[in-house]
Amino acid sequence: MCIFCKIVNGEVPAYKVYEDEKTVAFLDIFPRAYAHTLVVPKKHFETIDEMDEEYLAALIKSVKNVAKLLKEKLNAEGYNIVSNNGRASGQEVMHVHIHILPRFENDNIKFEFPDVIEEYKEKLEEIHRKIVG
Ligand code: 5GP
Ligand code: ZN
């Protein structure tokens, strides 16, 4: 059983901050931000594209509820939402999870989107054709 399934069923302890029928949220043990939180479905799926719609809807609703909770309780002024899917993306725990990183003005967190890749900018038409063609 994976580590997040063990957290879901209580075999492994975690600082749970929110729970509903289909999801649970807990603090990341290696926080990259103040109150860095992970939101997970209670059922094991590896990646978002493999999820059924019921759990998917529950997950995104839960993300919203947790974000609201973090704003209300910690006065977070914003948040970044990240989800790594597949090893190539940097996913280390192979159980779907959404990272919520609460953000505060001048929190000094470096959260950078990758730089623009000119080569891919020039290939937009070709890429579009591959996806929809
Ligand atoms: P990923 O790279 O898969 O998107 O991120 C996995 C996250 O899970 C990491 O940020 C890591 O710190 C966190 N994590 C890994 N193992 C545990 C654990 O046992 N408990 C908690 N609370 N977080 C974990
Ligand atoms: Zn799992």
The residues that bridge with 110 in the sheet, in sequence order, are none
Residue in the block written with tokens 């649970």: 24
Question: Is 0.85 surpassed by the pTM of this model?
Answer: yes
- As a dihedral over the C-alpha atoms of residue 12, residue 13, residue 18, residue 24, rounded to 10 degrees, the angle is -10
User: How many angstroms is it from 84 CA to the middle of ligand 1?
Assistant: 11
| DSSP letter (8 states) at residue 39 | E
Residues 74/35, Cβ–Cβ less than 8 Å: yes
What domains are there in the chain, each with its CATH number? Answer: 3-132 (3.30.428.10)
Tens-binned pLDDT, residue by residue, of the chain (133 aa): 999 999 999 999 999 999 999 999 999 999 999 999 999 999 999 999 999 999 999 999 999 999 999 999 999 999 999 999 999 999 999 999 999 999 999 999 999 999 999 999 999 999 999 999 9
Q: Whose CA is nearest to atom 17 of ligand 1?
A: 29
Q: Which residue from 87, 93, 97, 101 has its CB within 8 A of the most atoms of ligand 1, so it is best to mutate?
A: 93
- Is 97 a known active-site residue? yes
